[in-house]
Amino acid sequence: MAIDLSGKVAIVTGAGGGLGREHALALAAHGARVVVNDLGGGVDGTGGSLSAAAKVVEEIKAKGGEAIANSASVTDFDAITDMVDHATGLWGGVDILVANAGILRDKSFAKMEIDDFRAVFEVHVMGSVNCAKAVWQGMRERNYGRIIFTTSSSGLYGNFGQANYGAAKMALVGLMNTLAIEGEKYNIRVNCLAPSAATRMLEGLLPADQLAALAPDLVSPAVIAMASDAAPTKTTICAGAGSFEAAHITLTQGLAPDDSNSPAENILANLAELTGTDRQQIPTRGWDQIAHELAKAGFKTAEGA
């Protein structure tokens, strides 16, 4: 059955080009009204212009869709709140948030300035927090919401020269985990997208044929799925080159409490057992780790808060 987003209102940040543009076009093609947000700056976050967002709006309108442009910085909570208020006044509320805006300040950690670390965190982490906070209460009141944060393989698995970017992207997985729990009873489903796509951020890093295979529009179906009524929650979907996977944070069975006086030495002596993936689990919340550890210590535990 085709996914129909008619009547839904979506905000896509960083939608003036690359992945965000494709997400906005795909959402509009499925019937959503779209707020195309883009600061219009460089890949490092400097500069700004409404022209990039306005161009995407014209593309959407030319195909019969509805869209408006916005150039608020995701780092400005008041401006983001105004954007959400404007969309709510115009169309009745915001149903879907795709927090896609990001910048790069790549350097090895030894050479990275603290300001470069802070700037990346401000856009990726606080930018996503600002947007989620601005739509959260309205979604609770309407008992409906779909929020998609943009994580990265650099955060999930690490990447040289991206300590700031990787740390910021992994922070969004933590944000997703808690908001998915808090939003569950309000039908707010919160997920993460880990995209692999040929955007400005990958230019010059891969051969032309591989970049062509990583077309950004091949990622957007994951956004449509996570924006739908049947969306999962607390799920990290990886997407690239037309394929889709899920990334999990697992908990191994681990070591039972050690009666010796050398628990640290025991960890090292039995590291293979501690890290072994046999009987590993995917915790549904932080309490699962505590319950698992207490159970190994011989306690029966009740469900935690």
Q: What amino acid positions are annotated as catalytic residues?
A: 165
Q: Assess whether 258 and 242 both reside in one domain.
A: no
* 28 neighbors 114 (Cβ within 8 angstroms): no
pTM: 0.94
How far apart are alpha carbons 239 and 269 in whole angstroms?
38
Q: Is residue 172 situated within a structural domain?
A: yes
Q: Let me know whether 186 and 294 are in one domain.
A: no
Looking at the structure, do residues 134 and 282 belong to the same domain, yes or no? no
Residue 3: inside a domain: no
Q: 221 with 304, same domain?
A: no
pLDDT of residue 261: 78
Residue 66 lies in a domain: yes
Do 241 and 256 lie in a common domain?
Answer: no
What is the reported pLDDT for 33? Answer: 98
Q: Are residues 214 and 264 in the same domain?
A: no
> Taking the CA of residue 113 as centre, how many other CA atoms within 13 Å lie in the half-sphere pointing to its CB?
4
281 and 231 belong to one structural domain: no
Domain boundary among 247, 271, 296: 247
Number of H helices, E strands in the chain: 12, 8
Boundary (domain end) residue, out of 230, 247, 264: 247
pLDDT of residue 305: 45
pLDDT of residue 40: 83
- Domain with 282 in it: 250-305
What pLDDT is attached to residue 198? 84
Based on the domain organization, do 160 and 295 belong to the same domain?
A: no
Predicted confidence pLDDT, tens digits, the chain (305 residues): 799 999 999 999 999 999 999 999 999 999 999 999 999 866 655 655 689 999 999 999 999 999 999 999 999 999 999 999 999 999 999 999 999 999 999 999 999 999 999 999 999 999 999 999 999 999 999 999 999 999 999 999 999 999 999 999 999 999 999 999 999 999 999 999 999 998 765 667 778 888 899 999 999 999 999 999 999 999 999 999 999 999 999 999 999 998 777 899 999 999 999 999 999 999 999 999 999 998 988 898 755 54
Quick one: 264 and 133 in the same domain?
no
Give the model's pLDDT for residue 258: 83
Nearest CA-CA partner of 81 in 146, 35, 122: 35
Beta bridge partners of 145: 188
Is residue 270 in a domain?
Answer: yes
Q: Are residues 149 and 31 in the same domain?
A: yes
Give pLDDT, residue 300. Answer: 80
192 and 49 co-located in one domain? yes
Domain end, chosen from 200, 226, 247, is at 247
How many domains does one find in the chain? 2
Residue 4 belongs to some domain of the structure: no
Could you tell me if 286 and 183 lie in one domain? no
